[in-house]
Amino acid sequence: MREPTTSIHPTRYREVMGHYPTGVTVVTGLDDAGEPIGMVVGTFTSVSLDPPLVAFLPTTSSRTFARLRTSKAYCINVLAHDQAGLCRTMSSSGPEKFSDVDWSPSPLGAPMLLDAVAHIHCVPAEAIEAGDHYIQLCAVSTMDVSRQVTPLLFFQGGYGGFSPHGMTARGDGELIAGLRLADLARTQIETLAEDLGCEAAVMVAANEDELTTAAVAHGGGALMRELIGERLPMKPPLGEAYMAWAPETAIERWLAFAGKDPETAKTLQSRLAKIRARGYAAWEAKPADTATRDDLERLMDRYATGGLTPAAERSLLARMAELMPYYSDSGEFDDSQTYDIGGLMTPVLSSDGNIAMLLRLAQLPPASPGRDVKTWITRLRSAASAVEAILHGNPDEPDSSAGPVRPRVRPDSVQSTADVGC
Protein backbone atom coordinates (compact mmCIF):
# COMPACT_ATOMS: atom_id res chain seq x y z
CA MET A 1 0.00 0.00 0.00
CA ARG A 2 1.31 3.46 -0.92
CA GLU A 3 2.23 5.62 2.06
CA PRO A 4 0.13 8.80 2.39
CA THR A 5 1.93 11.95 1.31
CA THR A 6 0.19 14.17 3.90
CA SER A 7 -1.04 13.68 7.42
CA ILE A 8 -4.75 14.44 8.04
CA HIS A 9 -5.61 15.38 11.59
CA PRO A 10 -8.50 13.30 13.00
CA THR A 11 -10.49 16.45 13.82
CA ARG A 12 -10.15 17.70 10.25
CA TYR A 13 -11.08 14.28 8.90
CA ARG A 14 -14.28 14.17 10.98
CA GLU A 15 -15.14 17.78 10.12
CA VAL A 16 -14.93 17.26 6.37
CA MET A 17 -16.56 13.83 6.32
CA GLY A 18 -19.31 15.22 8.56
CA HIS A 19 -20.57 17.16 5.53
CA TYR A 20 -21.58 13.86 3.93
CA PRO A 21 -24.84 12.45 5.36
CA THR A 22 -25.07 8.75 6.08
CA GLY A 23 -27.96 6.39 6.61
CA VAL A 24 -28.44 4.79 10.00
CA THR A 25 -28.73 1.04 10.46
CA VAL A 26 -28.74 -1.33 13.40
CA VAL A 27 -26.91 -4.61 12.81
CA THR A 28 -28.31 -7.35 15.03
CA GLY A 29 -27.43 -10.95 15.77
CA LEU A 30 -27.17 -13.50 18.58
CA ASP A 31 -24.01 -13.93 20.62
CA ASP A 32 -22.48 -17.24 21.74
CA ALA A 33 -24.96 -17.44 24.62
CA GLY A 34 -27.92 -16.92 22.29
CA GLU A 35 -28.57 -13.41 23.64
CA PRO A 36 -29.63 -10.65 21.22
CA ILE A 37 -26.96 -8.08 20.46
CA GLY A 38 -26.99 -5.06 18.20
CA MET A 39 -24.88 -2.10 17.21
CA VAL A 40 -25.72 1.15 15.45
CA VAL A 41 -23.79 1.46 12.19
CA GLY A 42 -23.56 4.46 9.89
CA THR A 43 -21.04 2.80 7.59
CA PHE A 44 -23.30 0.28 5.89
CA THR A 45 -23.08 -0.14 2.11
CA SER A 46 -24.07 -2.33 -0.77
CA VAL A 47 -21.12 -4.15 -2.33
CA SER A 48 -22.16 -6.56 -5.06
CA LEU A 49 -25.24 -7.54 -7.01
CA ASP A 50 -23.95 -10.89 -8.24
CA PRO A 51 -23.46 -12.44 -5.79
CA PRO A 52 -25.54 -10.21 -3.49
CA LEU A 53 -23.13 -8.80 -0.90
CA VAL A 54 -23.38 -5.96 1.61
CA ALA A 55 -20.89 -4.68 4.18
CA PHE A 56 -20.67 -2.66 7.36
CA LEU A 57 -17.52 -1.17 8.89
CA PRO A 58 -17.16 -1.45 12.68
CA THR A 59 -14.05 -0.18 14.48
CA THR A 60 -11.45 -2.78 15.35
CA SER A 61 -11.72 -1.74 19.00
CA SER A 62 -15.51 -2.24 19.20
CA ARG A 63 -16.41 -4.55 22.06
CA THR A 64 -19.93 -4.91 20.69
CA PHE A 65 -18.62 -6.15 17.36
CA ALA A 66 -16.29 -8.53 19.19
CA ARG A 67 -19.45 -10.25 20.44
CA LEU A 68 -21.48 -9.71 17.27
CA ARG A 69 -18.91 -11.22 14.90
CA THR A 70 -19.52 -14.67 16.43
CA SER A 71 -23.17 -14.59 15.32
CA LYS A 72 -24.13 -17.03 12.57
CA ALA A 73 -26.54 -14.54 11.00
CA TYR A 74 -27.16 -10.82 10.89
CA CYS A 75 -30.19 -8.62 10.30
CA ILE A 76 -29.43 -5.16 8.91
CA ASN A 77 -32.27 -2.92 10.15
CA VAL A 78 -32.54 0.31 8.12
CA LEU A 79 -34.03 2.84 10.54
CA ALA A 80 -36.85 5.23 9.64
CA HIS A 81 -36.80 9.01 10.05
CA ASP A 82 -39.00 8.74 13.18
CA GLN A 83 -36.82 6.15 14.92
CA ALA A 84 -34.13 8.42 16.39
CA GLY A 85 -35.27 7.31 19.83
CA LEU A 86 -34.75 3.66 18.90
CA CYS A 87 -31.31 4.59 17.57
CA ARG A 88 -30.37 6.15 20.91
CA THR A 89 -31.62 3.08 22.77
CA MET A 90 -29.60 0.73 20.58
CA SER A 91 -26.53 2.95 20.99
CA SER A 92 -26.61 2.55 24.76
CA SER A 93 -24.38 0.07 26.54
CA GLY A 94 -27.09 -1.29 28.81
CA PRO A 95 -27.35 -5.07 28.90
CA GLU A 96 -31.17 -5.02 28.79
CA LYS A 97 -31.69 -2.66 25.86
CA PHE A 98 -33.54 -5.27 23.79
CA SER A 99 -36.19 -5.45 26.51
CA ASP A 100 -37.09 -1.84 25.67
CA VAL A 101 -37.66 -2.34 21.94
CA ASP A 102 -40.10 -4.36 19.84
CA TRP A 103 -38.44 -7.10 17.81
CA SER A 104 -39.02 -10.58 16.47
CA PRO A 105 -36.69 -13.28 15.10
CA SER A 106 -35.73 -12.88 11.47
CA PRO A 107 -35.90 -15.84 9.03
CA LEU A 108 -32.27 -16.51 10.00
CA GLY A 109 -32.86 -16.01 13.71
CA ALA A 110 -31.36 -12.54 14.22
CA PRO A 111 -33.43 -9.83 15.95
CA MET A 112 -35.61 -7.93 13.47
CA LEU A 113 -36.61 -4.47 14.76
CA LEU A 114 -40.24 -3.41 14.34
CA ASP A 115 -41.11 -0.54 11.98
CA ALA A 116 -37.69 -0.30 10.30
CA VAL A 117 -37.74 0.83 6.67
CA ALA A 118 -36.07 -2.35 5.43
CA HIS A 119 -34.59 -5.59 6.74
CA ILE A 120 -31.63 -7.28 5.06
CA HIS A 121 -31.05 -10.84 6.23
CA CYS A 122 -27.50 -12.05 5.71
CA VAL A 123 -24.70 -14.23 7.01
CA PRO A 124 -21.15 -13.06 7.74
CA ALA A 125 -18.53 -13.69 5.09
CA GLU A 126 -15.01 -12.26 5.15
CA ALA A 127 -13.87 -9.61 7.65
CA ILE A 128 -11.11 -7.46 6.12
CA GLU A 129 -8.99 -5.26 8.36
CA ALA A 130 -8.68 -1.74 6.95
CA GLY A 131 -6.86 0.74 9.16
CA ASP A 132 -8.78 1.17 12.40
CA HIS A 133 -11.90 -0.52 10.97
CA TYR A 134 -13.03 -3.89 9.69
CA ILE A 135 -14.87 -4.28 6.40
CA GLN A 136 -17.35 -6.98 7.34
CA LEU A 137 -18.66 -8.53 4.15
CA CYS A 138 -22.05 -10.26 4.39
CA ALA A 139 -23.80 -12.60 1.97
CA VAL A 140 -27.46 -11.63 1.56
CA SER A 141 -30.05 -14.36 1.99
CA THR A 142 -33.32 -12.43 1.78
CA MET A 143 -34.35 -8.79 2.03
CA ASP A 144 -37.60 -6.84 2.33
CA VAL A 145 -38.89 -3.29 2.38
CA SER A 146 -41.08 -3.31 5.46
CA ARG A 147 -42.24 0.31 5.68
CA GLN A 148 -42.50 2.83 2.85
CA VAL A 149 -41.19 5.92 4.66
CA THR A 150 -38.04 8.01 4.46
CA PRO A 151 -34.91 6.81 6.31
CA LEU A 152 -33.08 8.21 9.31
CA LEU A 153 -29.92 10.15 8.46
CA PHE A 154 -26.89 11.16 10.50
CA PHE A 155 -25.44 14.52 9.51
CA GLN A 156 -22.90 16.73 11.29
CA GLY A 157 -23.49 15.13 14.67
CA GLY A 158 -27.29 15.06 14.54
CA TYR A 159 -30.13 12.85 13.36
CA GLY A 160 -32.81 13.87 10.89
CA GLY A 161 -34.89 12.79 7.93
CA PHE A 162 -34.66 12.96 4.17
CA SER A 163 -36.93 15.23 2.13
CA PRO A 164 -37.73 13.88 -1.36
CA HIS A 165 -38.48 17.43 -2.54
CA GLY A 166 -35.61 19.41 -3.98
CA MET A 167 -34.65 22.91 -2.95
CA THR A 168 -36.06 22.54 0.55
CA ALA A 169 -34.55 25.72 1.93
CA ARG A 170 -35.82 27.72 -0.99
CA GLY A 171 -39.24 26.17 -0.57
CA ASP A 172 -39.37 27.25 3.09
CA GLY A 173 -38.58 30.79 2.02
CA GLU A 174 -41.35 30.70 -0.57
CA LEU A 175 -43.76 29.38 2.05
CA ILE A 176 -42.98 32.20 4.49
CA ALA A 177 -43.48 34.77 1.74
CA GLY A 178 -46.74 33.06 0.75
CA LEU A 179 -48.08 33.11 4.30
CA ARG A 180 -47.43 36.84 4.48
CA LEU A 181 -49.22 37.38 1.18
CA ALA A 182 -52.19 35.37 2.42
CA ASP A 183 -52.83 37.99 5.10
CA LEU A 184 -53.74 40.44 2.32
CA ALA A 185 -56.69 38.21 1.41
CA ARG A 186 -57.93 37.39 4.91
CA THR A 187 -60.73 39.98 5.00
CA GLN A 188 -61.96 38.91 1.56
CA ILE A 189 -62.14 35.19 2.34
CA GLU A 190 -63.82 35.80 5.68
CA THR A 191 -66.49 37.86 3.92
CA LEU A 192 -66.98 35.22 1.22
CA ALA A 193 -67.27 32.40 3.77
CA GLU A 194 -69.85 34.31 5.84
CA ASP A 195 -71.93 35.56 2.89
CA LEU A 196 -71.97 32.27 0.96
CA GLY A 197 -72.01 29.86 3.92
CA CYS A 198 -69.01 27.90 2.66
CA GLU A 199 -65.29 27.38 3.10
CA ALA A 200 -63.02 30.04 1.61
CA ALA A 201 -59.26 29.59 1.55
CA VAL A 202 -55.98 31.01 0.25
CA MET A 203 -53.55 28.57 -1.36
CA VAL A 204 -49.88 29.44 -1.87
CA ALA A 205 -46.87 27.56 -3.20
CA ALA A 206 -44.94 25.81 -0.43
CA ASN A 207 -42.25 24.87 -2.96
CA GLU A 208 -41.98 23.99 -6.64
CA ASP A 209 -44.10 20.85 -6.27
CA GLU A 210 -46.60 21.59 -3.50
CA LEU A 211 -49.38 23.94 -2.50
CA THR A 212 -50.41 24.65 1.05
CA THR A 213 -53.42 26.26 2.69
CA ALA A 214 -52.16 29.57 4.04
CA ALA A 215 -55.46 30.98 5.33
CA VAL A 216 -59.00 29.60 5.65
CA ALA A 217 -62.41 30.80 6.82
CA HIS A 218 -65.67 28.97 7.41
CA GLY A 219 -69.28 30.11 7.25
CA GLY A 220 -72.67 28.47 7.60
CA GLY A 221 -72.32 24.75 8.22
CA ALA A 222 -68.89 24.40 6.56
CA LEU A 223 -66.57 22.03 8.44
CA MET A 224 -62.87 22.54 9.18
CA ARG A 225 -61.47 19.75 6.99
CA GLU A 226 -58.12 21.20 6.01
CA LEU A 227 -55.45 22.42 8.41
CA ILE A 228 -53.24 25.44 7.83
CA GLY A 229 -49.87 24.30 6.51
CA GLU A 230 -50.99 20.93 5.13
CA ARG A 231 -49.29 20.33 1.81
CA LEU A 232 -51.01 19.25 -1.37
CA PRO A 233 -49.16 17.89 -4.42
CA MET A 234 -48.84 19.81 -7.67
CA LYS A 235 -48.22 16.99 -10.09
CA PRO A 236 -50.50 16.21 -13.05
CA PRO A 237 -53.41 16.21 -13.01
CA LEU A 238 -53.27 17.85 -9.57
CA GLY A 239 -52.54 21.56 -9.36
CA GLU A 240 -54.11 22.60 -12.67
CA ALA A 241 -55.81 25.68 -11.22
CA TYR A 242 -52.48 27.02 -9.95
CA MET A 243 -50.40 26.01 -12.95
CA ALA A 244 -52.77 27.76 -15.38
CA TRP A 245 -51.16 31.06 -14.34
CA ALA A 246 -47.68 29.84 -13.43
CA PRO A 247 -44.54 30.86 -15.38
CA GLU A 248 -43.75 28.76 -18.44
CA THR A 249 -40.72 27.21 -16.77
CA ALA A 250 -42.93 25.98 -13.91
CA ILE A 251 -45.50 24.61 -16.38
CA GLU A 252 -42.78 22.72 -18.25
CA ARG A 253 -41.58 21.20 -14.99
CA TRP A 254 -45.17 20.26 -14.07
CA LEU A 255 -45.79 18.67 -17.46
CA ALA A 256 -42.57 16.65 -17.16
CA PHE A 257 -44.10 14.71 -14.25
CA ALA A 258 -46.79 13.45 -16.63
CA GLY A 259 -44.27 11.47 -18.68
CA LYS A 260 -43.14 11.72 -22.28
CA ASP A 261 -46.42 10.94 -24.05
CA PRO A 262 -47.06 13.95 -26.35
CA GLU A 263 -50.83 13.38 -26.34
CA THR A 264 -50.96 13.58 -22.55
CA ALA A 265 -48.95 16.79 -22.59
CA LYS A 266 -51.22 18.27 -25.26
CA THR A 267 -54.33 17.41 -23.24
CA LEU A 268 -52.91 18.98 -20.11
CA GLN A 269 -51.82 22.12 -21.98
CA SER A 270 -55.31 22.42 -23.44
CA ARG A 271 -56.88 22.17 -19.99
CA LEU A 272 -54.58 24.87 -18.64
CA ALA A 273 -55.39 27.14 -21.57
CA LYS A 274 -59.16 26.72 -21.03
CA ILE A 275 -58.84 27.58 -17.34
CA ARG A 276 -56.75 30.65 -18.19
CA ALA A 277 -59.24 31.80 -20.80
CA ARG A 278 -62.16 31.51 -18.34
CA GLY A 279 -60.28 33.18 -15.52
CA TYR A 280 -61.27 30.52 -13.00
CA ALA A 281 -61.40 26.78 -12.45
CA ALA A 282 -64.59 24.98 -11.44
CA TRP A 283 -64.86 21.39 -10.32
CA GLU A 284 -68.24 19.71 -10.48
CA ALA A 285 -68.64 16.58 -8.35
CA LYS A 286 -69.96 13.57 -10.19
CA PRO A 287 -72.87 11.58 -8.74
CA ALA A 288 -72.09 10.45 -5.21
CA ASP A 289 -69.49 7.72 -4.95
CA THR A 290 -68.72 7.61 -1.25
CA ALA A 291 -66.06 4.90 -1.50
CA THR A 292 -64.11 6.79 -4.18
CA ARG A 293 -64.37 10.09 -2.35
CA ASP A 294 -63.26 8.57 0.94
CA ASP A 295 -60.36 6.81 -0.78
CA LEU A 296 -59.20 10.07 -2.36
CA GLU A 297 -59.44 11.94 0.94
CA ARG A 298 -57.48 9.15 2.66
CA LEU A 299 -54.71 9.44 0.06
CA MET A 300 -54.64 13.23 0.45
CA ASP A 301 -54.28 12.82 4.21
CA ARG A 302 -51.50 10.26 3.73
CA TYR A 303 -49.61 12.65 1.47
CA ALA A 304 -50.05 15.51 3.94
CA THR A 305 -48.44 13.55 6.77
CA GLY A 306 -45.14 13.48 4.82
CA GLY A 307 -42.29 11.02 5.34
CA LEU A 308 -42.98 9.12 2.11
CA THR A 309 -40.16 7.63 0.10
CA PRO A 310 -39.94 8.87 -3.51
CA ALA A 311 -41.21 5.47 -4.73
CA ALA A 312 -44.12 5.46 -2.30
CA GLU A 313 -44.99 9.03 -3.26
CA ARG A 314 -45.03 8.16 -6.97
CA SER A 315 -47.36 5.24 -6.26
CA LEU A 316 -49.66 7.38 -4.13
CA LEU A 317 -49.80 10.19 -6.71
CA ALA A 318 -50.57 7.70 -9.48
CA ARG A 319 -53.49 6.36 -7.45
CA MET A 320 -54.71 9.90 -6.75
CA ALA A 321 -54.57 10.66 -10.46
CA GLU A 322 -56.77 7.63 -11.12
CA LEU A 323 -59.35 8.83 -8.63
CA MET A 324 -59.36 12.50 -9.66
CA PRO A 325 -62.00 11.93 -12.38
CA TYR A 326 -64.40 11.80 -9.42
CA TYR A 327 -64.44 15.53 -10.19
CA SER A 328 -65.20 16.71 -13.71
CA ASP A 329 -63.97 20.07 -14.94
CA SER A 330 -66.84 22.47 -15.63
CA GLY A 331 -66.89 25.84 -17.29
CA GLU A 332 -70.35 26.73 -18.49
CA PHE A 333 -73.41 26.85 -16.25
CA ASP A 334 -77.06 26.93 -17.33
CA ASP A 335 -79.46 28.91 -15.14
CA SER A 336 -82.08 26.17 -15.47
CA GLN A 337 -79.76 23.35 -14.40
CA THR A 338 -78.50 22.43 -10.92
CA TYR A 339 -74.90 21.61 -10.07
CA ASP A 340 -72.90 20.02 -7.27
CA ILE A 341 -69.77 22.16 -7.20
CA GLY A 342 -66.73 20.59 -5.58
CA GLY A 343 -64.64 23.75 -5.75
CA LEU A 344 -64.13 27.12 -7.41
CA MET A 345 -60.68 28.67 -7.77
CA THR A 346 -59.29 31.89 -9.20
CA PRO A 347 -55.82 33.45 -9.06
CA VAL A 348 -54.45 36.58 -7.49
CA LEU A 349 -51.83 37.75 -9.97
CA SER A 350 -48.62 39.59 -9.23
CA SER A 351 -47.59 42.65 -11.22
CA ASP A 352 -45.72 40.44 -13.73
CA GLY A 353 -48.91 38.52 -14.55
CA ASN A 354 -47.90 35.29 -12.79
CA ILE A 355 -49.83 33.75 -9.94
CA ALA A 356 -49.15 34.95 -6.40
CA MET A 357 -51.87 32.98 -4.64
CA LEU A 358 -55.04 31.04 -5.35
CA LEU A 359 -58.43 31.82 -3.80
CA ARG A 360 -60.71 28.81 -3.38
CA LEU A 361 -64.33 28.20 -2.43
CA ALA A 362 -65.39 24.74 -1.24
CA GLN A 363 -68.22 23.06 0.69
CA LEU A 364 -70.71 25.02 -1.39
CA PRO A 365 -74.42 24.14 -1.21
CA PRO A 366 -75.23 21.05 -3.31
CA ALA A 367 -77.76 20.94 -6.15
CA SER A 368 -77.50 24.70 -6.69
CA PRO A 369 -78.92 26.40 -9.79
CA GLY A 370 -76.52 27.67 -12.42
CA ARG A 371 -77.36 31.30 -11.64
CA ASP A 372 -76.07 30.80 -8.08
CA VAL A 373 -72.86 29.23 -9.37
CA LYS A 374 -72.33 32.25 -11.63
CA THR A 375 -72.84 34.56 -8.66
CA TRP A 376 -70.26 32.63 -6.63
CA ILE A 377 -67.76 32.93 -9.48
CA THR A 378 -68.35 36.68 -9.77
CA ARG A 379 -67.93 37.15 -6.04
CA LEU A 380 -64.75 35.07 -6.00
CA ARG A 381 -63.16 36.90 -8.91
CA SER A 382 -64.13 40.30 -7.45
CA ALA A 383 -62.46 39.28 -4.19
CA ALA A 384 -59.32 38.32 -6.10
CA SER A 385 -59.35 41.70 -7.90
CA ALA A 386 -59.60 43.48 -4.56
CA VAL A 387 -56.64 41.54 -3.19
CA GLU A 388 -54.65 42.31 -6.34
CA ALA A 389 -55.34 46.02 -5.87
CA ILE A 390 -53.81 45.83 -2.38
CA LEU A 391 -50.92 43.69 -3.63
CA HIS A 392 -50.14 46.18 -6.41
CA GLY A 393 -50.36 49.18 -4.09
CA ASN A 394 -53.79 50.41 -5.27
CA PRO A 395 -56.04 49.72 -2.27
CA ASP A 396 -58.65 52.28 -3.37
CA GLU A 397 -59.38 50.45 -6.63
CA PRO A 398 -63.14 49.69 -6.84
CA ASP A 399 -64.00 46.09 -5.97
CA SER A 400 -67.76 45.84 -6.36
CA SER A 401 -68.85 42.40 -5.21
CA ALA A 402 -71.52 42.13 -7.89
CA GLY A 403 -70.26 44.26 -10.75
CA PRO A 404 -68.25 43.23 -13.80
CA VAL A 405 -64.69 42.03 -13.34
CA ARG A 406 -61.73 42.57 -15.59
CA PRO A 407 -60.18 39.66 -17.54
CA ARG A 408 -57.80 37.63 -15.38
CA VAL A 409 -55.22 36.33 -17.81
CA ARG A 410 -51.47 36.28 -18.06
CA PRO A 411 -49.85 38.51 -20.68
CA ASP A 412 -48.90 35.43 -22.69
CA SER A 413 -52.21 33.58 -22.28
CA VAL A 414 -53.50 34.38 -25.79
CA GLN A 415 -50.40 32.91 -27.36
CA SER A 416 -50.54 29.88 -25.05
CA THR A 417 -54.14 29.23 -26.04
CA ALA A 418 -53.30 29.41 -29.73
CA ASP A 419 -50.44 27.00 -29.25
CA VAL A 420 -52.78 24.21 -28.18
CA GLY A 421 -55.55 25.01 -30.62
CA CYS A 422 -58.15 26.15 -28.07
Instruction: Kindly report, residue by residue over 361-401, the tens digit of the pLDDT.
Output: 999 998 999 999 999 999 999 999 999 999 888 765 544 34
- C-alpha span between 125 and 123 (Å, rounded): 6
Query: Residue 22 contacts by C-beta under 8 Å, 6 or more apart in sequence?
Result: 42, 43, 153, 154, 155
The confidence score (pLDDT) of residue 300 equals: 80
pLDDT above 70: residue 405: no
pLDDT above 80: residue 138: yes
**pLDDT, averaged across the chain:** 83
- C-alpha span between 316 and 18 (Å, rounded): 34
- C-alpha span between 348 and 389 (Å, rounded): 10
Determine the distance from the C-alpha atom of residue 288 to the mean position of all C-alpha atoms in its chain, rounded to a whole number. Answer: 28
Question: Which of 205, 307, 325, 212 shows the shortest CA–CA distance to 267?
Answer: 325
Q: What's the pLDDT band for 194 if we cut at 50, 70, 90?
A: very high
Residues in the chain: 422
The confidence score (pLDDT) of residue 237 equals: 77
pLDDT above 50: residue 404: no
The confidence score (pLDDT) of residue 414 equals: 30
Instruction: Report the DSSP pairing between strands 338-339 and 152-155.
Output: unpaired
Q: What's the pLDDT band for 114 if we cut at 50, 70, 90?
A: very high
Question: Which of 126, 160, 147, 154 shows the shortest CA–CA distance to 77?
Answer: 147
The confidence score (pLDDT) of residue 422 equals: 25
- 197-245: pLDDT as tens digits: 999 999 998 888 888 888 899 998 888 776 677 778 888 878 899 999 9
Which residues are 329's β-sheet partners?
Answer: 283
Greatest Cα pair distance, the chain, in angstroms, is 89
Mean pLDDT of 55-83: 94
pTM exceeds 0.95: no
DSSP state of 32: T
Selected residue with higher pLDDT from 312 and 99 = 99
Q: What's the pLDDT band for 285 if we cut at 50, 70, 90?
A: confident
Question: Which of 82, 83, 94, 78 shows the shortest CA–CA distance to 42?
Answer: 78
pLDDT above 60: residue 297: yes
